[in-house]
A = this chain, B = another copy of it.
Amino acid sequence: MDKARVGLKDVARLAGVSVKTVSNVVNGYVHVTPATRTRVEAAIKELDYRPNLSARNLRQGRTGIIALAVPELDTPYFAELARFVVAAAEERGLTVLIDHTGASREREQLVAEGFRARLIDGLIFSPLALTPEDLAARMDDTPMVLLGERIYEGPADHIVVDNVAAAKEATLHLVSLGRRRIAAIGAKDDEAAETSRLRLEGYRRALEEAGLPQDDRLVVPVEAYHRADGARAMAELLDSGAAPDAVFCFSDLLALGALRTLLERGLAVPGDVALAGFDDIEDGRYGTPTLTTISPDKQAIAGQAVDLLAERMADVSREAREIRVPYRLMIRESTGG
């Protein structure tokens, strides 16, 4: 009763046809007599035959598996994104395998180098610590789509969100509320932190455009983009006496952490300090107050990423493309929306 070993051969024997005919039935080949087809299908059902994917993949040179490599799976933004990617991939008959890099450059290098080579047909990669050099050094030729930012010069497919414009828009929104001392939480010292750099750029441009002074004490660096970092940064900011009347956080988690600190210290949001984030994670929509944020279209990011990857898998030599995905500023309670 060893079902694990039922192959085309067994079905063929039972149905009294050749192996190839069974294969043809399984693959919906047209030229099969209805009678034969019925007989084969009965045999398949009786033996509970399932194709061996390893064999099929070996033969066809593809596995139907793509990898999604994200820094942290248990970060709401990436969890939500992963969900959309899994769904989009399924629509195309692809299976997603998730790699967790922990935002470590070493792990990201591994992923880029293709340590899953010959297991996956393609890779959707959201790097965080990877440098352009790492990417340029990439030898592996597995099709890859990069998420998040056009940070690399090399010829790679990209799905991007205009971080500068989005950050600028969020900051200008704070300006429009009449706030003058607008802080930014989320700068990173790290060379590789391109996303952080771009959002900072957007923030700076907004201040400039509004004719507000740039005050370095209002720009607070963080280690990572978690709640704890946001809480800590907000505390630093308040302790430094910089007295902001608004804060633009480079991620919603940072904003939620900052919010926690503000409320702990008895400050009103948005009364004393208005707060805006980035990512539009679900948490922000249910906190008190709800969080004003930049909402990148995650479904579009996921869908386009899978599309782009599928195209590249179909034609390896196609020129690298860059797809820009829209975002929206969601105004909620934390800025009095």
Residue positions of A touching B, CB distance < 8 A: 3-4, 48, 50-55, 57-58, 61, 63, 65, 72-76, 79-80, 82-83, 86-87, 95-100, 114, 116-119, 139, 141, 227-228, 231, 256-257, 259-260, 263-264, 282-283, 285-288
Contacting A96 at CB < 8 Å: which of B48, B61, B98, B264?
B98
Chain copies in the assembled complex: 2
Contacting A139 at CB < 8 Å: which of B48, B65, B87, B263?
B48
Take A97-B95, A227-B286 as given contacts and tell me if A74 and B65 are in contact as well, using a CB distance cutoff of 8 Å: no
Please, which residues of chain B bring their CB within 8 A of the CB of A50? 114, 117-118
Are B58 and A87 neighbours in the complex by a CB distance under 8 Å?
no
Alpha-carbon separation in the docked complex, A63 to B116 (Å): 13
Please, which residues of chain B bring their CB within 8 A of the CB of A76? 74, 76, 79
Please, which residues of chain B bring their CB within 8 A of the CB of A72? 83
> Residue on B with the closest CB to A80?
B74
Are A98 and B86 neighbours in the complex by a CB distance under 8 Å?
yes
Please, which residues of chain B bring their CB within 8 A of the CB of A141? 3-4
CB distance from A88 to the nearest CB of B (A): 11
Would you mind naming 30 contact pairs between A and B with Cβ atoms under 8 Å apart?
A3-B139, A4-B141, A51-B118, A52-B118, A53-B118, A53-B119, A54-B57, A54-B118, A55-B58, A65-B97, A72-B83, A73-B79, A73-B86, A74-B79, A74-B82, A74-B282, A76-B79, A79-B79, A83-B100, A86-B98, A86-B99, A95-B119, A96-B97, A96-B98, A227-B285, A256-B283, A256-B287, A257-B286, A260-B287, A288-B288
> Residue on B with the closest CB to A63?
B54
